[in-house]
């Protein structure tokens, strides 16, 4: 018979699954408390939350939400990074952490409901973030407009310069 505390934990995990746009299932065995605290803080900066919960309770939450494909990954020391925004910064944080200490190991990635092998985290980490893409698009849009404005200003300045020269020349010819 599940206790009230376990029901609350399952409800919390279900809430994370429902609200998250994507998630990373990781194995964190070997991370000490300091490393885990640092990883959690860096993930919070990327709009993600790292939770450690019993695999059984996560399985129950996944089953109740009819999430397929996650159960095989719920073995050993499992943590799940739930992402509430752009998944690329979270992938970068996890990948950088992996490069430093070879932990955490990403077992599974879910992006917009599509499950991928955890090894794809490097490919995701190599992508530009949403903000970087927006900046690139804005730069691509702004460059031709700025060039057009610059050209029209140059033509206007040349026209004004010609009129000014003609105005100065007219009194000299009249004398």
Each residue's pLDDT tens digit, 62-74 = 999 999 999 999 9
Omega within 30 of 0 (cis) for the link into 104: yes
d(CA 88, CA 48): 11
Ramachandran angles phi, psi of 68, nearest 5°: -100, 150
On whether both 27 and 16 belong to a single domain, the answer is yes
To which residue do tokens 């860096």 refer?
A: 42
pLDDT score for 134: 83
What residues make up the domain containing 25?
4-127
Are residues 98 and 173 both part of a single domain?
Answer: no
- Same domain, yes or no, for 81 and 147? no
What pLDDT is recorded for position 147?
Answer: 83
Which residue stretches of the chain have pLDDT < 50?
Answer: none
Residues 13 and 93 in one domain: yes
Q: Are residues 21 and 40 in the same domain?
A: yes
Determine contact, residues 70/62, Cβ cutoff 8 Å.
yes
- Looking at residue 31, what is its pLDDT? 86
Task: Verify that 32 and 104 share a domain, yes or no.
Answer: yes
89 and 173 housed in the same domain:
no
Residues 40 and 104 reside in one and the same domain = yes
My answer on whether 41 and 71 are in the same domain is: yes
Confidence (pLDDT) at 175:
57
Give the per-residue pLDDT at 46: 93
Q: Residues 133, 108: one domain?
A: no
119 and 146 together in one domain: no
Same structural domain, 87 and 148: no
Chain mean position to CA 27: 21
Helix H, strand E, coil C: the string for 14-62 is: HHHHHHCCEEEEEECCCCCHHHHHHHHHHHHHCCEEEEECCHHHHHHHH
Per the structure, the count of domains in the chain is 2
Determine the Cα–Cα distance for residues 147 and 152; give it in Å rounded to an integer.
9
Q: How far apart are CA 69 and CA 17, in angstroms?
A: 14
8: domain CATH number is 3.30.70.1730
Structure tokens at 61: 């939450």
């Amino acid at each position: 018979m599940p206790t009230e505390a376990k029901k609350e934990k399952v409800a919390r995990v279900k809430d994370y699954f429902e609200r998250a746009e994507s998630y990373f299932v990781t194995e964190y065995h070997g991370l000490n408390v300091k490393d885990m605290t640092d990883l959690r803080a860096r993930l919070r900066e990327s709009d993600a939350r790292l939770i450690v919960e019993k695999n059984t309770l996560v399985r129950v939450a996944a089953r109740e939400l009819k999430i397929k494909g996650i159960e095989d990954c719920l073995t050993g020391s499992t943590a799940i990074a739930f992402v509430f925004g752009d998944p690329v910064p979270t992938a970068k944080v996890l990948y950088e952490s992996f490069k430093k200490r070879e932990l955490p190991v990403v077992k599974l990635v879910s992006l917009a409901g599509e499950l991928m092998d955890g090894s794809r985290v490097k490919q995701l980490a190599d992508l530009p973030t949403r903000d970087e893409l927006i900046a690139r698009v804005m730069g691509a849009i702004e460059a031709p407009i700025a060039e057009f404005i610059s050209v029209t200003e140059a033509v206007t300045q040349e026209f004004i310069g010609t009129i000014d020269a003609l105005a100065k020349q007219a009194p000299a010819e009249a004398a």
